[in-house]
Structure 1
Amino acid sequence: MRSQLENAQLFRALHERPGTFIIPNPWDAGTAKLLAAMGFEALATTSLGVANMLGRATVSIEMILRNAREIVAATGLPVSVDLENCGADTPNLASEAIRLAAETGAVGGSIEDSTKNPQSPIYDFSLALERVQAAVEVARSLPIPFTLTARSENFLHGRKDIDDTIKRLQAFEAAGADVLYAPGLYDLATIKTVVSALKKPFNLVMGFADPTLTVEQLSDAGVKRISVGGALSRVALAAFLRCAREMKDNGSFTFVPEMAPIKELRDAFAAITPP
């Protein structure tokens, strides 16, 4: 089993090699093991997936970290943690989430400029930058090469200002963030515009992008890393709701033949031995 340092080095190498890689988003130990058994090289947590799993509209930083620890322990793969706004507004408190993420065994994590306040959803530019600078400082103090992702959330909150988004990402890049991320970009032209303005690796989340885009197209556009956010969780819940509605409304069970084979699941779970 690889050490955390070895996983951190491997995760960095994934961002440095040619081409694009997919980093899918499990929401618990079981889904993490299934993805690992399929051969994915790294995983990223999803705060939305955690909220869905727990039946909550929102989750705390403690819940996010607990879930990260479980996913890290499930597979031994490199894991990056969706830390939302790191659970705090001030730079010093927010940056502490980076240290806590590393303590779960994860080798990467994100900080975003969303406030979680619907009345004022995006931090002012100066505060957003200070938060990233503090997170970088903590990441660099760790005994492993922790991969820090900095996110600009404009497009997810109705602020489709590409110039401000690029300005923020460039500032986060200059501050030392290792990966840049702007969820909510939809079309290939916009994605290309943002990626071409940056020098460091860019993560695209397909949960909000044009679903007809392919890995090949995104690689040609310069995207380094592709995630899906809470999409897998939401698709699984859509199937759950469809089956439940069929039982409730029709009194029928035609979904039963669509079940995942028990042997396939057990084989996948048995193939991945936790550390």
Structure 2
Amino acid sequence: MSADLASALLALHQGPGFVIPNAWDAGSARILAQAGFPAIATTSAGIAWSYGLPDGGATGAERMLQRIAEIVDAVDVPVTADLEDGYGSTPEEVAVTIGRTIEVGAVGANIEDAAEGRLFDAGLAAEKIAAAREAAPRGTFVINARTDAYFAPGSHVEDRFAETVARAQRYIDAGADCVFVPGVDDADSIRRLASEIPAPLNIVAGLAPTLIDAPELFSLGVKRVSIGGGLARAALAFVERAGRELRETGTLGFLDGSLRYAEVQERFRR
């Protein structure tokens, strides 16, 4: 079953392009799967916020893997996990994380090359990807190598485009199936990245100040469009607005358009 799900996820990268939404718990995953998405990604940011924590490693591997397991169990489509930096400072530790991720049923993962706003040495980052690949042979697990050359404010990078392409090539050589580049938001750079990176390119929509929607990203050569913590941010913004209305006026305008109790119940029956 896992092999079939991994193959299905990998095959999506060979098409004209697909959108993969990011869930933060079992409930959001169920709703997104029922909306018709062929695969679900997790969001480390959304999961951290659901625990009342900031994004960026505060959740830790144990809680993150527990939540990933709950999301996998909630849906029948492939799930790929946001593993931040792999929860390990060494390639060997990252390999252990990948093994545990496979055990909970995920068939793919993002692995970042930065932490606390700073890029790792590219050689070390490539070794982590290689260790992940050894732990999860090609075809059984989709490795999405993330490079933060555009998104790491604590690192001085003279040419972010060139650094991104160079790192992407190293990660592909190490065994990555696709490459994830957050933070880039101009169409020309995205088009050039898609052309020069010899693997499917993942761009997160809605993260950078300039919003580029999925159809335009596909036209630029992007194969995979994710949303990161975007849906979680939108949900939390709604809760904040609704809470303010309820506290300040006591009115219930926030319920306009909401699902009825019975409708929500029906969505969660299995």
Tell me whether the two structures share a fold, i.e. TM-score over 0.5: yes
1:34-79 Cα shifts (integer Å, max 9, x gaps): 1111111000001111111111122101111111100110012100
1:27 corresponds, among 24, 28, 31, to: 24
Shift in Å, 1:155: 1.9
Q: Percent identity?
A: 36
Q: Which ranges of structure 2 fall in alignment gaps of 5 or more residues?
A: none
1:90 equivalent to 2:85? Answer no
1:46 equivalent to 2:43? Answer yes
Equivalent pairs, count = 263
Shift in Å, 1:105: 0.5
How far apart, CA to CA, are the structure 1 residues paired with 2:95 and 2:194? 26
Residue 72 of structure 1: aligned partner: 72
Q: Is the 8 A contact 2:185 2:212 kept in 1?
A: no
Higher deviation after alignment, 81-90 or 198-207: 198-207
2:147 corresponds, among 145, 152, 172, to: 152
4+ residue stretches of structure 1 with deviation over 6 A? none
Residue 236 of structure 2: aligned partner: 237
Residue 205 of structure 1: aligned partner: 204
- Give the 3-state SS of the residue equivalent to 1:84 in structure 2: coil
* One-letter amino acid of the counterpart of residue 21, structure 1: F
Q: Is the 8 A contact 1:185 1:208 kept in 2?
A: no
- Give the 3-state SS of the residue equivalent to 2:253 in structure 1: coil
* One-letter amino acid of the counterpart of residue 47, structure 1: S
1:111-154 Cα shifts (integer Å, max 9, x gaps): 111133x5xx211122112111211221218xx61111111012
Residue 228 of structure 1: aligned partner: 227
How far apart, CA to CA, are the structure 1 residues paired with 2:2 and 2:210? 34
Higher deviation after alignment, 260-269 or 167-176: 260-269
Residue 4 of structure 1: aligned partner: 2
- Give the 3-state SS of the residue equivalent to 1:193 in structure 2: helix
How far apart, CA to CA, are the structure 1 residues paired with 2:29 and 2:21? 9
How far apart, CA to CA, are the structure 1 residues paired with 2:63 and 2:6? 23
Q: Which ranges of structure 1 fall in alignment gaps of 5 or more residues?
A: none
- Give the 3-state SS of the residue equivalent to 2:198 in structure 1: coil
Q: Is the 8 A contact 1:180 1:203 kept in 2?
A: yes
* One-letter amino acid of the counterpart of residue 165, structure 1: T
Higher deviation after alignment, 160-169 or 83-92: 160-169
* One-letter amino acid of the counterpart of residue 8, structure 1: A
* One-letter amino acid of the counterpart of residue 232, structure 2: S
TM superposition score normalised by structure 1: 0.90
- Give the 3-state SS of the residue equivalent to 1:246 in structure 2: helix
* One-letter amino acid of the counterpart of residue 47, structure 2: V
Residue 101 of structure 1: aligned partner: 101
Higher deviation after alignment, 229-238 or 199-208: 199-208
Residue 216 of structure 2: aligned partner: 217
Residue 56 of structure 1: aligned partner: 53
CA RMSD of superposed structures (Å)? 1.7
Shift in Å, 1:252: 3.2
How far apart, CA to CA, are the structure 2 residues paired with 1:243 and 1:59? 27
